[in-house]
Chains A and B, each alone.
Chain A
Amino acid sequence: MTPNRPLILAVVDDDDDVRIALSRLLRAMGHAVRLFASAEEFETGNPPVDCVIADVRLPGLSGLELRERLRKTNDSPPVVLITGDGDRLARDFRNALDSPVLTKPFDAAVLAEAIASAMSMTPLQRERHAH
């Protein structure tokens, strides 16, 4: 379900076109969006956000690694992973299933649902998924 209240969302993707398009869509959906071209950039900014939408394949730290690092801090935002290579992700990162993973290209409704789903998981639930 799409959360009713406006959220602050972070988009971490190195592809300019994808990043801007997501920003446009999420803002059209009524959310505030912060854009980052890499996981490092996101960590440096360390913005208070409700959810992070991160590409898996990033220069430097991958989206997956970013998710792992966020998971280790308290009150960390949930992560929605997006990827251009679903097969590879499924093969390589089976243990990433506690975060929603979207294969590009994805529908706006699917994205909204993934965000809602990620946010509905309590930290405990996420912890359980990870083991």
Chain B
Amino acid sequence: MPTDDLYRRAAVAGGVGVWDWNLETGEIHVDPFIKEILGFADHEIRDHADDWRELLHPDDRALAVERVEAYLRGATPSYDNEYRMRHRDGSYRWFQSRGAVSRNEQGAIVRLAGTVVDVTERKRNDEALRQAQELNRRIVDCTGDCVKILDLEGRLLYINPIGLRLMEIPDVSDLLNRSLAGFFQGEMREAAERAIASAGRGGAGRFHYSMRSASGATKWFDAVVTPITDANAEVVQLLVISRDITDKRREDAFRAGQHRVLEMIATATPLPAVLDSLVLLVESQSDGMFCTVLLLDEDGVTARHGAAPSLPAEYVQAINGLLIGPNAGSCGTAMYLGQRVIVTDILSDPLWENYREVARKFGLRACWSMPIFSPRRKVLGSFAMYYTEPREPEDGELQLIETAADIARIAIEQQRSYQEADAQRRQLAHLNRVATLGELSGALAHELSQPLTAVLTNAQAARHFLNRQPLEIDQIRGAVEDIIKNDKRAGAVIDRLRALLRKEEISRQPVDVSDVVRDVIDLAVGELTSRRINVKSALAPVIPSVLGDRIQLQQVVLNLVLNACDAMNTTDTGDRVLVLATRADDGFVELTVSDRGPGIPDGQLERVFEPFVTFREQGLGLGLAISRSIVAAHGGSIHAENNAGGGATFRCLLPIAGARSFKQAV
């Protein structure tokens, strides 16, 4: 049959084999080409259904037979079967078989004939695809990220189970087909729209957003939007992968906050402010948590209020001054034992017996306290976390409390060292005043000798006049009045001397720096005159006050003036000009003291501020070191520079009172 042969060749070329099955005899003719596919020669497989049935994969056999029977009994409209058959080498190949029945004249089914195709390759591809899909599904289901698919309008088509869980929304139907950007407002919404539009154009977009979950906690996400393209590289959908960055943000914020607190410590911010900031920082890490810091007195038994910015004053009052002991609440016990004390329920814990009522009054139920230790394991205080419900700490919370206690330790220690340094500085400043006084003694002697001379001379003049006749009452009165005046003048000199010698706490009063300079010029006028120094002052008549200690600032200016005078010892007398200037500039008052001396040797501009470094023949070399420490204690700075035209200038910057201080900055 040329036609048959033509069909057959066409079929073989298409990978299709023809078969014909006589249902009455079981005889089945299959194209040898199919036998070839299975690795058999034509004669090796009998043309009988039994042989072919043998070759079926055991797992597929029952189903394949059932499909034939179902078709034959009319249960399925067409015959379409898929099964594996064993290759000669033992492997299996997939075949798809289709066919139709032939009937005899009586209408009875006698034959089933059709085609069979090797679909092993297609099956492999299908399996690979299925596996790929399975992999995708598993990735999407198991990732911790929220995966969404949007249509090109940005409407939500799909959200993975994790996404639903993160959102704490039980029913996906509440979300589907709603615009994703529409969930947000303001800038967040704009960012989302931009990112979605960008991905819609084939690019990638990214935005951060926050959502309040159903439980009320705010969660932060970092969302990356990318396009999903079809075979033609057309964007058909958008993929949004959002990562929960709530913890990371919180950690970042905590680190930044920690940095701020450490900075406060480093800049000598007063301890209560540092501890308040620390407590607020820790409290920001958890909703409904309150923290306290207690400080242990030097006596080692009394705990004092350190910080509790979020707890009511009455509670703070009740705890302040408590004596530590084996059952003194969480903190008192922690400090007493020198170890962490976790009370999960204040109402039932025996440690709280004496404080239960006050805690109950303010609804405090759990309190975990960590002692603050010095490096030598001396207890400095305690850091505590309170909750309004009974609670046990998680690992993260225990870590947090330890970190907080550690920062508190640094703050407390730093304050103590500042206090010591401060006392030392006061001592040094006093010594320096005494030393300066020595340098000034000549000037002061002169200062005092003038009024004393006037007093004595006037008194003796008066006595002369009293011995003369007639009495010249006007002359005598003039002499007596000058005696009184000059006595007062001497008193004023002594007052200044006393002020200079006073060893006192630093006061923080508004001080007019121009006035301070005038005071110093008055004080040193004798010295300046005798050294032939021409003082030029350019003092701002109206200048904002700085907050500080007038006497200490006088000390600084006096030091600078005396240094400048010394520097000009070898300068020609006509050229001994001392320039004192003040001005306000950008939150600071600037004071400059310039001389026309030889200047400061190369590379020594900073060294002159070191203690015991001096380029003078006399003096301890403490003046500038102390000046710098005084200025630093006022939040200012002082530097030396050489003038272009010779000589040196000392430039001192002091922050204006009420100008943006560090504390306000944070």
A contact set with B: CB distance below 8 Å: 14-15, 17-18, 20-22, 24-25, 27-29, 57-59, 82, 84-85, 87-88, 103-108
Taken residue by residue from 436 to 463, chain B's Cβ proximity to chain A (1 for < 8 Å, 0 otherwise) reads as 0000001001111111111111101110
B141 at the interface (CB under 8 A from A): no
CB A97 to nearest CB in B, in angstroms, measures: 20
B485 at the interface (CB under 8 A from A): yes
Question: Please, which residues of chain A bring their CB within 8 A of the CB of B485?
Answer: 17
Question: Please, which residues of chain A bring their CB within 8 A of the CB of B460?
Answer: 25, 107-108
- State whether B452 touches A104 (Cβ < 8 A): yes
Q: Closest A-chain residue to B489, C-beta based? A: A17
- State whether A17 touches B482 (Cβ < 8 A): yes
- State whether B456 touches A84 (Cβ < 8 A): no
CA distance A52 to B106 in the complex (A): 169
CA distance A22 to B530 in the complex (A): 21
CB A96 to nearest CB in B, in angstroms, measures: 15
Given A84-B450, A104-B449, A108-B464: A24 in contact with B442 (beta carbons within 8 A) = no
Q: State which of B449, B479, B486 has its C-beta within 8 Å of the C-beta of A85.
A: B449
Enumerate 22 A-B pairs (CB-CB under 8 Å) in ascending A order.
A15-B454, A17-B486, A17-B489, A18-B450, A20-B454, A21-B454, A21-B457, A21-B461, A21-B482, A21-B486, A22-B457, A24-B475, A24-B478, A24-B479, A57-B530, A59-B529, A84-B445, A84-B446, A84-B448, A88-B442, A105-B456, A105-B457
- State whether A85 touches B450 (Cβ < 8 A): no
- State whether A85 touches B445 (Cβ < 8 A): yes
CB B526 to nearest CB in A, in angstroms, measures: 7
Question: Please, which residues of chain B bring their CB within 8 A of the CB of A20?
Answer: 454, 482
Taken residue by residue from 469 to 480, chain B's Cβ proximity to chain A (1 for < 8 Å, 0 otherwise) reads as 000000100110
Q: State which of A28, A57, A105 has its C-beta within 8 Å of the C-beta of B455.
A: A105
Given A17-B482, A105-B455: A25 in contact with B449 (beta carbons within 8 A) = no
B33 at the interface (CB under 8 A from A): no
Q: Closest A-chain residue to B455, C-beta based? A: A105
- State whether A105 touches B479 (Cβ < 8 A): no
- State whether A17 touches B454 (Cβ < 8 A): yes
CA distance A105 to B453 in the complex (A): 4
Q: State which of B456, B458, B526, B529 has its C-beta within 8 Å of the C-beta of A107.
A: B456
Q: State which of A24, A88, A103 has its C-beta within 8 Å of the C-beta of B457.
A: A24
Question: Please, which residues of chain B bring their CB within 8 A of the CB of A57?
Answer: 446, 526, 529-530
CB B566 to nearest CB in A, in angstroms, measures: 15
CB A80 to nearest CB in B, in angstroms, measures: 14
